[in-house]
Copies of this chain bind each other. A is one copy, B any other.
């Protein structure tokens, strides 16, 4: 893909206007800035233009046009990603699905909903609730992330320990492949053993194989009333011991952790400590507690963990309002540190490896980078850790990025020894591309490239993302 001269650009855009209404093709600077990047702030947005198709047919026409003119496309959802997969910084055409945001079909017997890819996560969650059901995949960016984007990254979030990843809820997918073919995959069936399941290939493909235009999703019964506990934990081994005891007895819907250092940032933004005692780590766990059936049991477990020395203080929510407030201690961390331009890592290992990995990385960072403030938090119940390195105020952005790159090499080499993944739920995009080899060996990456070739032989779909 090369940059285009101004007259070429004019001709290219005129060609698009032949099948896209002019108002849905945007070339202004504000649109370029808005649609040209995701929540990462490392890349300069520089799209050719932004197109907002309104129909599947328009998406198909766009892909065919892009093939004819070797024009790179960047599919664009809510752009809440943290790995740069939705960044357009090399003159690509951004294809935003935001106008395609309708819920198309619902069936109470199937407990199933079909929606366009641009549907906002929270809109779908609300729709499900109105039908007396729930869509339990949930995360902090629910208010702006799109279902299509969730699928393209196999989004996880805060309830994975109980309700799984986005992948587990997708029963049908309409995609336009990089060749311009419309595929109607699996059509909402629970069981379908009729050849390779292409649906799962598109889930997590970060826009590199085609454009997801429609999805059918399973729904489930309404979630039982949750209780939230926040627990003060003196050391890493305590974290996992508590997890083992609680998940054996309660229906945990979340098991999160964060460090005291991370907590301090949300306290600065006006939240209050959950309890007096400060401890190096905190667990936030949620369990379903219909009619308070498990309250006594939870309190007994709390006593038991205290006696074992695994925790030293704690609080349990007494109301829905209080549960929400406790959740903010965890969910607001990311926003509270945004001003420090954190370098984000989103890694995973098997749960059993978490304590050893945490300890090794802690030593590594303290030894090699004593001047960096490092914050830990994450979905520890599924082996997913977010490591955020804050930029020292006096350090230049470029120097910081360079240093963090060096940190990453150390970090990922350690992670590799523990069989982990360089990306748990954020995807590879641009930020993790240099490190993909730590998780997928050269043979595997060879197959990934060959698969891309099958669906996108001209390399027009989100080129340069995941691998070169």
Contact = CB atoms under 8 A, between A and B. Distances in A.
A314 interface: no
Interface in A395-427: 419-427
A382 B190 contact: yes
A236 B134 CA distance: 28
A351 B196 contact: no
Nearest to A439: B194
A221 interface: yes
A379 B184 CA distance: 25
A201 interface: yes
A349 interface: yes
A203 interface: yes
Contacts of A350: 107, 110, 112, 187-190
Nearest to A200: B200
Nearest to A152: B193
B110 A191 contact: no
A447 B440 contact: no
Contact of A383 (B189, B244, B419, B450): B189
A422 B194 contact: yes
Interface residues of A, number: 74
A110 to B, nearest CB: 5
Interface string A332-358: 000000000000000011111000000
Contacts of A196: 201, 204-205, 209, 448, 451
Nearest to A177: B447
Contacts of A419: 187-189
Interface in A353-388: 379, 382-384
A454 interface: yes
Contacts of A190: 160, 348, 350-351, 382-384
A103 interface: no
A191 B165 contact: yes
A181 interface: yes
Given A109-B240, A183-B444, A443-B183, A194 B383 contact: no
A194 B112 contact: no
B195 A467 contact: yes
A425 B193 contact: yes
A197 B194 contact: no
Contacts of A204: 193, 195-197
